[in-house]
Amino acid sequence: MAEFTMELNDEQKEVRDWLHGFAADVIRPAASEWDEREETPWPVIQEAAKLGIYSLDFYAQQFFDPTGLGIPMTMEELFWGDAGIALSIVGTGLAAVGVLANGTEEQIGTWVPQMYGDADDVKVAAFCSSEPDAGSDVASMRTRAVYDEAKDEWVLNGTKTWATNGGIANVHVVVAVVDPELGSKGHASFIVPPNTPGLSQGQKFKKHGIRASHTAEVVLEDVRIPGHCLLGGKEKLDERLARARERAKAGGERVKNAAMATFEASRPAVGAMAVGTARAAYEEALEYAKTRSQFGRPIIDNQGVAFQLADMRTSIDAARLLVWRASWMATTGKKFTSAEGSMSKLYASETAKKVTAQAVQILGGNGFTREYPVERMHRDAAIYTIFEGTSEIQRLVIARTLSGLPIR
C-alpha cells in the first residue's frame, strides 16, 4: 500500500508542470474566445491529443497512480487554465469510465479507443444519465431499455439532458431502466454506436458558465442496438437483477445506501476541478491587489483586502487537502465512513463559488467586465455546486452517513 505523503514525487511534479504549461500556453489564451463562441474548442482538444493529454493512455496512467493524486492533480491544473475548455477535454472521460467500470474486456477494447479517436481525427464521447425529471433523484429515471430476444437487440426510448458532448459524440453511453420495480438498482448502461438511427441531439443549452463545453439533450426514439452493446453482458445483468430483488426484499434501504456509496468515489475529481478554478481566481486577485493603487498605495495594504486574500488562500488549501484525502482513500481501498468523498466535493465547490465572488469584489468594476478573467471564472464556478450531485445532496449524503438515519 502506498504511503500517504504531503509531497508530490518527482514524476508527479513533472506531469503537473507539463499540464500547467499546457494550461498557461494553450488553454488560457483561447479561453475568452471559446467562452464567447459557446462552441466546442476542437483546435484545443486536437492540440491536447497531439501532446498526449487527450488520450486514454494518459488518463489511465493518472487513474492508476498508487497515491491517488494523479487525477486530482490533472483536474486542478487543466481547470486552472479554463473550466469550459478543460471540461471539453476531460468530458469524454466520464463515458470512458462508465465503460471501464462496467464493460467486458472486449467492450473496453472495442469502444474506448473510438471515444478518443486520434490526433488527426479527434472524437469525443458522452455519458447520458440525467433526465428532465431525474437529476439527483436517479430512481425517477424514465428512459427504458427493452430486450428484443428474437433479434438479440435492445430498444431504447427516452430523453437525456445535461449531457456533456451530447449529440456531437462519436459514442454515447446511456443509462436506462430495465426493471422499473428495482428503482436505481434496475438500471443498466448501454453503448450507442456511431450513427445509430433514432439518436438525435435535442436542445443545446446556452449556459451561464462553462460555455466552451457542449451541453445538450439526447433524444432516443426506438434506438436499436445489438445485444453486445449492453455493458457487462446479458448474463451478468440477469444475475445482478436477481441479487437486487433478493436484497430489496431483505431491506431496500441497505441497497440504496450501497448505490450511493458507489458515486462517492467520483466526487473528489469534481472537487479538484473546483480547486483549480478557485486557485486561478485567487491568483488573479492577488496580483491585481499588489499592482492596483488607490489613495497612494496598493490596495493589498488595506486589511479589508489582505484579510480576504488570506481567507481565500486558506480555503483553497483546505479544499485541496480534503480532495487529496478522499482521492487517496479511494485508491488505497479505505472506506468513506464519514462520506469523505462528498465532503471534498461539497467544500471545494462552495469554496470555488465564494473565492471567485471575492475575486470579482477585489477587482471592483474591472472584475465585473469581461476584460478580466475573474468574471468568467465566477460564472464557471456556479456549476460545481450543481453537477455530480448538488451541495444539498452532498450534505444529505454526509448527514445520512454520520447519523445512520434515512434523513430526507
Residue ranges of alpha helices (H) inside 265-302 are 267-291
Rounded to 10 degrees, the C-alpha dihedral 80/164/320/262 comes to -170
**Distances, alpha carbon 197 to alpha carbons 42, 112, 119, 223, 245, in Å:** 25, 21, 27, 6, 34
Q: 233: which 3 cell numbers?
A: 453482458
* Amino acid of residue 184: S
In terms of Cβ atoms closer than 10 Å to its own Cβ (0-12, 13-18, 19+), residue 197 is exposed
Q: 271: which 3 cell numbers?
A: 472537487
As a residue count, the chain comes to 408
Instruction: Mention every residue, 6+ apart, whose C-beta is less than 8 A from residue 250.
Output: none
Catalytic residue (one of 76, 77, 264, 388):
388
Distance between CA atoms of residues 255 and 253, nearest Å: 5
**CA 61 to chain CA centroid, nearest Å:** 18
**What's the DSSP call for residue 3?**
P
| DSSP sequence for 300-341 | GGSHHHHHHHHHHHHHHHHHHHHHHHHHHHHHTT---TT-HH
Q: Which residue has the cell 469534481?
A: 270
* Amino acid of residue 193: P
Q: Which residue has the cell 494553450?
A: 26
Give kind and range of the element (H or E) at residue 244: helix 234-264
Distance between CA atoms of residues 146 and 224, nearest Å: 10
Please tell me whether residue 137 adopts helix, strand or coil conformation: coil
Respond yes or no: is residue 340 known to be catalytic: no
Distance between CA atoms of residues 89 and 42, nearest Å: 9
Neighbours of 70 (CB within 10 A): 24
Catalytic machinery residues: 388
